[in-house]
């Protein structure tokens, strides 16, 4: 068994094992073991990648290619570069943290964990696929369990949110499928066979007309899940209704599929289309950055605040990708990772606060720093990380993005950059507003005085997410090197 296929096999085995479990205790132990193995594999993969990269200078390493459906030339084709390795690591950490956070899942624990692991297997598959069709299949595998997870285990208007989320993402998938087929039917432009293989298509010069047509389609198809303005409205409702672990996975990992897909498929395979259209999508992305931040100021539900904050941060990812240069691309990937950890941590903390106080309304909370100091202190740290304080991951990512984006001669890009940079102030406003109202000040509700202390499994979940945030902030260089090396082929496409 090769090192990458294990990323799909282990979740499948975990699911099989879960089927035979009884009750919460067995289900969570099995899920935890499965996720631990995944994390171990991801860490191992990082080291293996560095070792392999030293002797093997291919774009993708650990590749494996099996014909899956001969008639349409669909392959099971997998391989990774630095970007996917980093995102696999992110996924495995967030999944494990999610399992710890759901330690006390009351209703239908077995089914819950099964759906969670199915979702994660889709994400793993997506990140390792090198075949457009396989990638699309994994994309759907990752999206569909969301419907069940929100619809069954959610809260509030869960049916509405689940339906909205699934329909919007399915609509995007339909658009995406058109884009992928468009690429497929142009993959023989230089003669040769029609193919879904990303590496093969990258060598083909797809005619400019086709690129112009299919770039926006593919871009939007992926960017909806990356919360591109104005297609972001599924995300606040979805997050608000989803149970904690699902929000974490969703914002932390699933939304990264958008940025990754945009980069790996739309921009890598259709570089001329990207150059042609970048101005348009930069406007949308920069709008999203500011718009999301301003929307977040006005919200009172913690999850909505965080959801709009995600719109803003992920707008930054798309914005950086569209800047078409190496530094900002590096920043975009780092921002994806950093946002993944940060937002998962936020949702975990929100879940803990909600579990104790039974409200997510900021105006009803107050003085939590006094009653649940550990959770509150971590919330402050997460907030500071989110507003881009040096020493945390967000700063590294944002500085890469800004420096890279500013390298454009053109005034339009400059102005868009300055607009996006100004989001750092608005971010500070909404973060500190929440910290001020919710954590500081006098204790508003006497019932808060005897809240449950933080438990060991909650602490474990928090630390799992906090360590990478600080680690990336203090020592970003190895990660950044891993990513930078993988950006070479993309650069050649654009220049």
What does the binding site for another protein look like in residue numbers (CB under 8 A)? 164, 167-168, 229-234, 291, 294-295, 297-299, 367, 369-370, 384, 387, 389-391, 395, 399, 402-403, 406-407, 417-418, 421-422, 424-425, 428-429, 432-433, 435-436, 439-443
Question: How far apart are CB 410 and another protein at their closest, in Å?
Answer: 12
CA pair distance 166, 171, nearest whole angstrom: 8
Q: Are 315 and 426 in contact (CB under 8 A)?
A: no
CA pair distance 475, 13, nearest whole angstrom: 35
Question: How far apart are CB 437 and another protein at their closest, in Å?
Answer: 9
CA 184 to chain CA mean position, Å = 26
Q: State which residue, 181 or 290, has the beta carbon closest to another protein.
A: 290
* Angle of helix 302-322 versus helix 423-434 axis, rounded to 10: 160
CA pair distance 413, 404, nearest whole angstrom: 11
Q: Are 208 and 272 in contact (CB under 8 A)?
A: yes
Question: How far apart are CB 454 and another protein at their closest, in Å?
Answer: 18
Q: Are 178 and 266 in contact (CB under 8 A)?
A: no
Question: How far apart are CB 211 and another protein at their closest, in Å?
Answer: 28
Q: State which residue, 211 or 299, has the beta carbon closest to another protein.
A: 299
CA pair distance 437, 433, nearest whole angstrom: 6
Q: Are 125 and 109 in contact (CB under 8 A)?
A: no
Q: Which tokens sit at 22?
A: 């009884």
Q: State which residue, 87 or 332, has the beta carbon closest to another protein.
A: 332
> Tokens 């099964």 correspond to what residue?
114
CA pair distance 439, 454, nearest whole angstrom: 16
Cβ neighbours for 220, distance < 8 A, ≥ 6 positions apart? 172, 175, 228, 231
Q: State which residue, 46 or 454, has the beta carbon closest to another protein.
A: 454
CA pair distance 256, 161, nearest whole angstrom: 20
Question: How far apart are CB 92 and another protein at their closest, in Å?
Answer: 30
Question: How far apart are CB 315 and another protein at their closest, in Å?
Answer: 13
Question: How far apart are CB 384 and another protein at their closest, in Å?
Answer: 6
> Tokens 């932390």 correspond to what residue?
252
Q: State which residue, 51 or 298, has the beta carbon closest to another protein.
A: 298
Q: State which residue, 271 or 383, has the beta carbon closest to another protein.
A: 383
Q: State which residue, 111 or 407, has the beta carbon closest to another protein.
A: 407
Question: How far apart are CB 431 and another protein at their closest, in Å?
Answer: 10
CA R_g for the chain: 21
Q: State which residue, 87 or 172, has the beta carbon closest to another protein.
A: 172
């Amino acid at each position: 068994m090769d090192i990458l296929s294990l990323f799909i096999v282990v979740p499948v085995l975990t699911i099989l094992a879960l089927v035979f479990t009884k009750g919460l205790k067995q289900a969570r132990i099995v899920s935890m073991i499965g996720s631990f193995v995944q994390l171990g594999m991801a860490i191992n993969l990082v080291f293996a990648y560095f070792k392999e990269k030293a002797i093997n200078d291919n774009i993708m390493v650990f590749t494996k290619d099996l014909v899956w459906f001969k008639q349409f030339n669909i392959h099971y084709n997998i391989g990774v570069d630095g970007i996917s390795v980093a995102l696999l690591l992110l996924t495995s950490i967030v999944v494990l943290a999610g399992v710890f956070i759901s330690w006390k899942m009351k209703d239908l624990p077995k089914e819950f964990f099964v759906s969670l692991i199915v979702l994660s297997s889709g994400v793993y598959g997506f990140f390792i696929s090198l075949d457009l069709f396989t990638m699309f299949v994994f994309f759907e595998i990752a999206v569909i369990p969301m419907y069940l997870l929100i619809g069954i285990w959610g809260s509030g208007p869960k049916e509405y949110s689940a339906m909205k989320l699934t329909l919007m993402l399915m609509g995007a998938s339909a658009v995406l499928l058109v884009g992928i087929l468009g690429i497929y039917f142009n993959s023989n432009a230089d003669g040769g066979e029609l193919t879904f293989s990303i590496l093969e298509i990258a060598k083909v010069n797809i005619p400019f007309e086709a690129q112009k047509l299919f770039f926006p389609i593919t871009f939007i198809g992926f960017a909806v899940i990356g919360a591109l303005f104005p297609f972001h409205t599924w995300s606040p409702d979805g997050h608000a209704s989803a149970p904690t672990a699902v929000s974490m996975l969703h914002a932390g990992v699933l939304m990264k599929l958008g940025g990754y897909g945009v980069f790996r498929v739309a921009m890598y395979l259709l570089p001329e289309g990207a150059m042609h259209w970048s101005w348009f999508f930069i406007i949308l992305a920069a709008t999203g950055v500011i718009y999301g931040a301003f929307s977040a100021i006005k919200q009172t539900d913690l999850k909505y605040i965080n959801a709009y904050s995600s719109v803003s941060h992920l707008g930054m990812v798309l914005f950086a990708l569209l800047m078409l240069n190496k530094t900002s691309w590096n920043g975009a990937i780092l921002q994806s990772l950093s946002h993944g950890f940060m937002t998962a941590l936020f949702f975990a903390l929100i879940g803990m606060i909600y579990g104790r106080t039974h409200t997510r309304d900021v105006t009803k909370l107050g003085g939590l720093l006094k009653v649940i100091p550990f959770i509150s202190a971590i919330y402050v740290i997460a907030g500071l990380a989110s507003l881009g304080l040096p020493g945390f991951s967000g700063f590294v990512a944002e500085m890469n993005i800004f420096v890279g984006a500013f390298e454009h001669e053109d005034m339009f890009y400059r102005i868009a950059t300055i607009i996006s940079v100004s989001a750092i102030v608005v971010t500070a406003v909404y973060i500190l507003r929440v910290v001020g109202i919710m954590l500081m000040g006098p204790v508003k509700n006497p019932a808060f005085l005897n809240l449950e202390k933080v438990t060991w499994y909650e602490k474990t979940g928090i630390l799992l997410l906090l360590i990478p945030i600080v680690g990336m902030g203090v020592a970003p260089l190895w990660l950044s090197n891993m990513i930078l090396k993988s950006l070479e082929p993309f650069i050649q496409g654009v220049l």
